[in-house]
Structure 1
Amino acid sequence: MVNTVACVAAPLLLLAFGMPIFLVFLFSAVLFQVAVMSSIPLQAVPTAIFGSLDGFALLAVPLFIFAGDIMARGGIARRLIEFILSMIGGIRGSLPVATVASASAFGAMSGSSVACVAAIGKLTLPSLEKSGYGRTYSVSLITATGVIDVIIPPSIPMILYAVTAQQPVNVLFLAGIVPGLLIGAALCAYVVWRARRDKMPPGEPVQIKQVIERGRNAVWAIFAPVLILGGIYGGIFTATEAAGIACVYAIVVSVFIHKELSVAQLWGITKESSMLVGQIMIIVAAAGAYSWLITTSGLPTRLVEFISGLHMQTWMLLLVINVVLLFIGSVLEPPAAILLLAPLLTPAAYAAGVDPIHFGLIVTVNLAVGLFMPPFGLNLFATNALFKTPLPQLYRGVLPFFCIYVAVLLLLTYVPAITLAPLALFK
């Protein structure tokens, strides 16, 4: 038992020493095999490594990353955001509301939070500052809205959770729509209230001519999320097939219709996306071996028995899991955090009567919030690098948004119908 506890604690200890995450998983897997699962030959570790990559659903990860990069740099995302900005005006807080709406729309095409922050920030930050919103508030708003990308389908963390917990990706995507929209609505309500409190000037009135012009320019961009999500929920194709179609669509529109990307630029995006995909997949491979050994050892079953022995009520267990996930999510990217914790926490939640789809949304939203939770949220450092805003200012600026996310997270945690009710419509 002591060896088992040591092997489970090993990843956290190695992370504390700054070891790369894929080496953390790989070293922990070997340590677990030697100290706990010595009856299993060491050759099983490389088999588990390659076996963890052999999944059709997992193929959606590199494809959605590639499609998102093309859309972000090929004019599709920019046209969609400009169209949204043109439609929201004439009210106090119209620009912040448009920022939230743009992040939600971008999230329906890409699963990269940092890409969302960069794309939304470049287009909305100058306008926000010009309209009198302070830089700290503007950058904090962009940082907070950027993580909606993790929650709104198609979401890379949701795909990884589905693979790890053996749940259908399309069902998780469907369950994520209402939570994503709920968070967006809560953020919109806050920014409008704050604009009224600070007596910010109303935004420019909507100009029908401009809306029509930008709408015409954004026709292909508007159709992108309709094609991706409509095809999945309409049962026309799977999430993985949708990712492949999104790649082809993005290439055709960006290179041949909008003509904002040359073949040479497309090749450059391909190489950059491949680097990011390689980083994620090597983590998935190493984590797969570690997760397989943990599952084979029977540790999740013993953990469930231990938690049952504590006689914790379900609400209390979920509260503890939320706290753990928030802190882990603030120091680890969502893919790594899911691969580390899902094999342990999912059986415990399921044994407590929590629906695995509902739990998947709890995990995803927690890790999204952790991305900008002070002081270690990874998006805070990304925003600091992109917009040169000092971290102490960011910590103060994101605090109200963090409280909003936590409030919605608690609502989602203890009202499962928010995530599960929409699933009944498609049965």
Structure 2
Amino acid sequence: MIASLAILPLVLLAVGTPIFLVFLTAVVVTMMFVLPLPPVALQQVLFGGFDNYALLAIPFFVFAGELMSTSGIANRLINWAMAMVGRVPGSLGVATVGASTAIGAISGSSVAAVAAMGKTLYPKLVDAGYGKARAGGLIASSGAIDIAIPPSIAMILYGLAAEQSIPRLFIAGVLPGLLMALMLAGFIVIVAVRNRIPSQGRFEPGIAFKATKDAFWALLMPVFVLGGIYNGWFSPTEAGGFACVYAIVVALFIYRTMTLREVVRAAGNAAMLTGQIMIIVAAASVITWMLTTQGVPQAIIAWINALQLTPFMFLLAINAVLLVIGCFLDPTSAILVFAPLLVPIAVSLGIDPIHFGIVMTVNLAIGMFTPPFGLNIFVAQSVTGLPVHALYRGVAPFVVVLILALLIITYVPALSLALGQSL
């Protein structure tokens, strides 16, 4: 069973097999040659993986993110962030981080943020003196904040896999996401001072007011979505539906930057991306079922207990493992497979599962721009035209900065738990 469920997936990943086929092939081979299980069980578990109401939030938030990108709402947020920064050293780089955080508070899509910022900000960053590699690295890395800041698709999936409250996960991600943004912004300021990169203009109340007015309805979206969840107006799934309706109304009737045909086209693009996510959800549910029925989680817990690891040592080891996993697997796949295995161990050591979910999410967010296979790197490469090796060089310092943020988030649980005490 070790060969079919551990070695075989590694071989398939190495030859570039799509991740859902990796999972399904491992399970089918195990059922055919190792464990005599009825084939109907595979079908039942495969389709049973969709039987969860909370999963409906994913297509809603994906569609909202697509609408935001297509309608130009993301560009309004970028312009607003640039207008608010003023004469801070490295103001354009700081605005890039701020814009990514604002976009993440609406869509939760790291890829959408990288694509939007790459088209708008990359040429400006290069002209301002950041250099091509550093500018590309900043865009790829700041997009990772979108996974940690609510609403986050990764947090929805963790809530499903670990059977935890999605609203509590959302509010737990606020302070860690802001910490990541502040540390990236602080690093940019240091780089700007050392390299004498000038600030871009100064803060002007008139320009800031106009930018805020232009982005007003975009800035209200996360207020309505998250405020509605925590005031009990709607569930996270219903919040996703509200986000879609809100984005359509704003794009069609307020900003008037989309037509009905473009809304339908955006829905088609969102459906394609949702299909990619959902097929991974189904395939991951199968391999998780296989591991659970064979007692793998219990065996891992017993092994960890035998090692007598302290919570400090366990979290350090998990961070190291997840950072490596994030280099090869996307957050969706990694969370669905590893959360059911790791959460019981964390709970047995007295680690809060909500805090552990944020630690896991931030780890995998860093993996989005970590070489060799971080997805944000390839999105940034397609937008900027930079060679991949230049982007590897550009993201390296930002990986270090966010790993330092990760360690703070890991060993200061209050950052993740303080805002959710009343829930």
TM tier relative to shorter chain: over 0.9
Would you say 1:155 and 2:152 are equivalent positions?
A: yes
Equivalent residues in 2 for 1:198-209, closer than 5 Å: 198-209=195-206
Q: Does structure 1 retain, via aligned residues, the 8 Å contact 2:148–2:176?
A: yes
The partner residue of 2:347 within 350, 355, 359 is: 350
The partner residue of 1:30 within 10, 28, 31 is: 28
Would you say 1:176 and 2:189 are equivalent positions?
A: no
Equivalent residues in 2 for 1:319-398, closer than 5 Å: 319-398=316-395
Size of the alignment, in residue pairs?
Answer: 423
The partner residue of 2:289 within 282, 292, 295 is: 292
Would you say 1:403 and 2:400 are equivalent positions?
A: yes
Which residue is equivalent to 2:163?
Answer: 166
Which residue is equivalent to 2:10?
Answer: 12
Deviations 1:243-287 (A, max 9, x none): 000001111111122111111111111111111111110111111
Q: Pick which of 412-421 and 243-252 moved more.
A: 412-421
In 2, distance between residues paired with 1:278 and 1:369? Answer: 24
In 2, distance between residues paired with 1:87 and 1:97? Answer: 10
Q: Does structure 1 retain, via aligned residues, the 8 Å contact 2:108–2:152?
A: yes
| One-letter amino acid matched to 1:320 | A
Which residue is equivalent to 2:299?
Answer: 302
Would you say 1:244 and 2:274 are equivalent positions?
A: no
Cα offset, 1:120, TM superposition: 1.5
Q: Does structure 1 retain, via aligned residues, the 8 Å contact 2:122–2:384?
A: no
Task: Give the aligned CA root-mean-square deviation in angstroms.
Answer: 1.6
Q: Pick which of 243-252 and 386-395 moved more.
A: 386-395
Structure 1: any 5+ residue segments left out of the alignment? none
Which residue is equivalent to 2:123?
Answer: 126
Which residue is equivalent to 1:217?
Answer: 214
Cα offset, 1:4, TM superposition: 4.9
Deviations 1:109-154 (A, max 9, x none): 1122111001122222222223222222211111110111111111
The partner residue of 1:42 within 20, 27, 39 is: 39
Residue 332 of structure 1 aligns to a residue whose secondary structure is coil
Q: Does structure 2 retain, via aligned residues, the 8 Å contact 1:46–1:289?
A: no
In 1, distance between residues paired with 2:341 and 2:12? Answer: 18
The two structures have a TM-score, normalised by structure 2, of 0.96
Cα offset, 1:337, TM superposition: 1.3
Deviations 1:44-92 (A, max 9, x none): 1111111110111111111100000001111222212212211111221
| One-letter amino acid matched to 1:398 | V
Q: Pick which of 253-262 and 168-177 moved more.
A: 253-262
In 2, distance between residues paired with 1:244 and 1:216? Answer: 25
Cα offset, 1:415, TM superposition: 1.8
Query: Deviation above 4 Å: which 4+ runs of structure 1?
Result: 34-37
| One-letter amino acid matched to 2:41 | A
In 2, distance between residues paired with 1:10 and 1:411? Answer: 36
- Percent identical residues: 47
Q: Pick which of 303-312 and 275-284 moved more.
A: 303-312
In 2, distance between residues paired with 1:352 and 1:36? Answer: 33
Q: Pick which of 274-283 and 296-305 moved more.
A: 296-305
Which residue is equivalent to 1:193?
Answer: 190
| One-letter amino acid matched to 1:187 | L
Which residue is equivalent to 2:51?
Answer: 54
Q: Does structure 2 retain, via aligned residues, the 8 Å contact 1:151–1:176?
A: yes
Which residue is equivalent to 1:316?
Answer: 313
| One-letter amino acid matched to 2:311 | T
In 2, distance between residues paired with 1:320 and 1:32? Answer: 29
Residue 347 of structure 2 aligns to a residue whose secondary structure is helix
In 2, distance between residues paired with 1:367 and 1:397? Answer: 19
Residue 206 of structure 1 aligns to a residue whose secondary structure is coil
The two structures have a TM-score, normalised by structure 1, of 0.95
| One-letter amino acid matched to 1:41 | P
Cα offset, 1:196, TM superposition: 1.3
| One-letter amino acid matched to 1:384 | Q
Q: Does structure 2 retain, via aligned residues, the 8 Å contact 1:37–1:297?
A: no
Q: Pick which of 233-242 and 272-281 moved more.
A: 233-242
| One-letter amino acid matched to 1:105 | A
In 2, distance between residues paired with 1:25 and 1:81? Answer: 39
Q: Does structure 1 retain, via aligned residues, the 8 Å contact 2:141–2:369?
A: yes
Equivalent residues in 2 for 1:69-108, closer than 5 Å: 69-108=66-105
